[in-house]
Structure 1
C-alpha cells in the first residue's frame, strides 16, 4: 500500500543508476549537499520511525528551512523530535485532503504540487450550499495547523489540483511532543494581546487564534526591525518595550550651480533622465520614534523607510500577520489607525523641506506632532495611543545601512 500511494515520486527518480553497494555512500553525500528534498529524504519519512536516524532528520529540517509556522517557537531539538514522527504522503489530483466540519487529525506541509482551499457557504437565492474558492496553496505552504492546535472542527476543505506530495504530522504526535511548549508561547502572546488597546474587542476564540499566528521578537540595540523589502514585512509590529527609530531615505537629484561651487537638491521622481553633471545621492533623516503601545508597519506606506531599534534600548515587538488583521471583521478600525499614523508622521515632501532648510527646530516640530496626536487620539478615543511619540527630523547616522542594505 505504501509503495502504491507513493508511486508518483518513486517512478520519477532514477534509482536504477546507483549500484546497491554505493547506495549508502551516495545517500550520505546527497543528504549533506541537498538543497531540496531528495528521494532519500522521502524514503526516510516513509520508513518506520525506529529505523530513522537523527542525521537524516536534521538534513530534512535543514532543507525545509522555516517549515511549519509554529517551528519559529521551537528549539531545534523539539523540531527534530517532531519530524522524527512525521510521515510522507502522496495524493493524486482532485482528492480531498481535508473536509470542512470534520474533526482534525493531521497538519500538512506542501513539498510539491498545488491545492485549493474551499469554503462551503449557504446561497439564500439558490437555496443550496456552494463551495467557493478561498485561495490556492503551493509548495512551501502549510495547512491544517489551527484545527489541530485548538482541537476544533475544520473551517475549510482542501482539495488537490495536481499530484501533491505532503509532509504530515498527526494530532496525537503534535500533542505528545509539543503542545506544552507551544502553549507557553501562546500564553505569553495572549497576555500581550489582551493588554493591547488594539485587540480589546477580540473574543476568547479570536485571541487564541491571534496568539497562535503571532510571535514575540526581541531586537538588540541598533538592530534592523523592519523596512522597505526587509524584515517581517507581512507582519504588523506592536511595541512591547524599548524605542524604535524611523529613518527615511531621501533619493535626491543633485545639480551643481552655474559656478560649480554649490549644489541644489530636489526629490528624484524615479523617471527623469540625468543630465550632465547631475547625480543621485541618498540622504537619511531620522523622522520619529515609536514607544510604549505604539505600532508600525500595519499597512501605511513604508517605501524608503526603515525602522531601527534605538542604540540605547532593547526592543520587543509582537508581530501579527497582516492578513489576519484584514480578515478579522472586528478589527476593521485598523484602517483608521493606519490613516492616523500617516497623518501624524511627516510625508516625504515635508521631510525634504526640513532637509533643505538646514535648521532643525526640534521643539517646534514636537509641538506640531503633539497637536496632531491629540487630534488623532480624540478621533480614536483610545486610552493608549498607538501613534509615534515625537517627530525629530534629524540627519541620521547611516552606518547600519552598510550592514543591512549593502549601500
Structure 2
C-alpha cells in the first residue's frame, strides 16, 4: 500500500515538473519571439529541431548582434572556443557602447560578457538594492527614475531621471562609489543588453571608468556654475555628461532656431567661431548692385503660407502680424511679382554669404536655447567640449537663480542679429565701392604736377653733411 502511494506521488511530481518545464519553455519562446522576424515564413516547417537549427545558424542581424553571436554570448565563459572569442572581438570592436574602452579591454570582455534580453516592463535595477552587474544597451530604451520625498504632497514620489538608449552604459555608479543602487531602471521597450558581473567589472572596467570619472569631475571644477551643486547633482551630471573632441573646421552645432539643441556645450579647450549665413537677393538696378536680406530658413514655411494668402481680403491684417523683416521681404516680393519685366528677371540671383561674427573660447558656454537663425558653430582649431543634456540642466535644482536663462539673454544681446550683420555687410560693400572709385579717380587724373616747394621740405632734410678736416 505504501509503495503504491509512493508511486502515485512520484507520478504526480513528474507531471508537475513536466508542466513547469513546458510553461518555462513557452515563456522563453514568447520573450524571444522577435528573433523569428529575421526568418522567412517558408523556412519554418513542422520539424521543431530543424527550425531551432535554422534559427541558430542564421546570420541575419536583429539589432547589433547576429543570432550566432548571441548564442556564443549565452554560453559560459569557459565553454567559448578561441574561434568564437575571435569572432566576438571583431563585433566588440564596432560596438558604440564599448567605444570608451581600449582594444585590449574589449578583447577580454569577449571572454566574460553575457547577452541578456528583457521585454518591456521589466525592472533591471531597484533603488536601494546592492549592485551585482553593469549593463550596456545594445537595443531598446530604458527609463530611469528615483524615489524622492515631495514636501508639497507629504509623500514619496517617483521622479523620472531620463532614459538610457543604445550606446550607453548604466549601473556602474554603485561600484565606483561603493553604495547601493541610487535609481530604478525599467525597460520601456524590448531591450538587448550586454551584462558584465561585478568581479569582471572590477578587474577590467573599473580602472578606465574611474580615470574618466575623475577627468569629468575635474572638468566640472573648471566652471564656477557648478560650485554650489551638491554631491548628488555632480554625480548625476557625470553620468549624463560626455566630453567630445572636434577637429579644426568641424561643425559643432547646426540649428535653425536654437530650440532643437539637445546638449549645452561647455568649452574646455580651443576656440569656436560663430558663422552667420546671410541669404541675400542680388539685383542689378542699372550699374548698381542692390542687396535684399531674405528670410531665415526657419521662416520659409511661414513665408510660403503668407504668399498664398496675400491676395485675400484680409491680407493687410495678415501682413501686420508678421515679423518686420518678413513683412518687408513679403511686400517687396509681391510688388516685384507685379512690376517685374521679363528682361529684368535673369538679373536677380540668390547668394549665401558666411560671416564670422564672434568666437567662443575656453570657459564659454552655448546651446542654452539662444537664437541661432541660419547660424553655425564651427571649431576654429582643435576644440574639446563638455556636453550636458539641456533638459536636465534647466531643471529646478540645477537652475538656481535662473542662471542659465540669464546667460542665454546675455548671449543674445552680445551676438548681433541677422539684421545688424546685414547692415554691416552693406556698409562694408559701400566702403569698398567708394574706395575703389576714389583710387580710380586719382589714378586716372591727368596733368599731375609736383607743387612741392623748397620751403615745404623740413630743414632737417635740407642740411648737407659736410666733410670734417682730414
Structure-1-length-normalised TM-score:
0.70
- Give the alignment of 1:4-403 within 5 angstroms: 6-7=28-29, 8-9=31-32, 12-13=35-36, 14=39, 36-50=64-78, 51=80, 53-61=84-92, 65-67=95-97, 71-113=98-140, 115-122=142-149, 128-131=155-158, 142-161=169-188, 163-228=190-255, 234-252=262-280, 254-259=281-286, 262-268=289-295, 269-270=299-300, 271-272=303-304, 277=346, 278-310=348-380, 313-327=381-395, 329-332=397-400, 333-358=403-428
Deviations 1:243-262 (A, max 9, x none): 2211111222x152454863
Report if the CA contact (8 A) 1:96-1:157 is conserved: yes
Distance in 2, Cα, partners of 1:143 & 1:257: 62
Distance 1:208 1:133 in 2: 16
1-structure distance, mates of 2:371, 2:205: 38
Give the drift of 1:344. 0.9
Compare the two structures and name the one with the higher strand fraction: 1
Alpha carbons 2:223, 2:363 under 8 Å: kept: yes
Per-residue displacement from partner, 1:263-297 (whole Å, max 9, x unpaired)? 42213242256755554321100001222322222
Q: Aligned with 1:57: secondary structure?
A: helix
CA separation in 1, counterparts of 2:215 and 2:148?
35
The structure number with the bigger radius of gyration is 2
How far the C-alpha of 1:56 sits from its partner, in A, is 2.7
Residue deviations 1:68-108 (CA, integer Å, cap 9, x gap): xxx45322332343354222223345432221222222333
Change in Cα spacing, 1:264 to 1:11, as seen in structure 2 (3 Å) is: closer
Residues of 1 paired with 2:239 and 2:57: CA distance?
A: 40
Q: What CA RMSD, in Å, does the superposition of the two structures yield over aligned residues?
A: 3.9
Q: Contact (CA 8 Å) 1:5, 1:89: kept in 2 or not? A: no
Q: Is the 8 A contact 2:64 2:138 kept in 1?
A: no
CA shift for structure 1 position 42? 1.5
When structure 1 is superposed on structure 2, of 350-359 and 164-173 the one drifting more is 164-173
CA distance in 1, matches of 2:216, 2:131: 24
Cα displacement (A) at 1:134: 5.3
How big is the shift at 1:10? 6.1
* Residues paired across the two proteins, number: 348
Shift of 1:167: 2.5
* Structure 1 residue ranges without an equivalent (≥5): 362-407
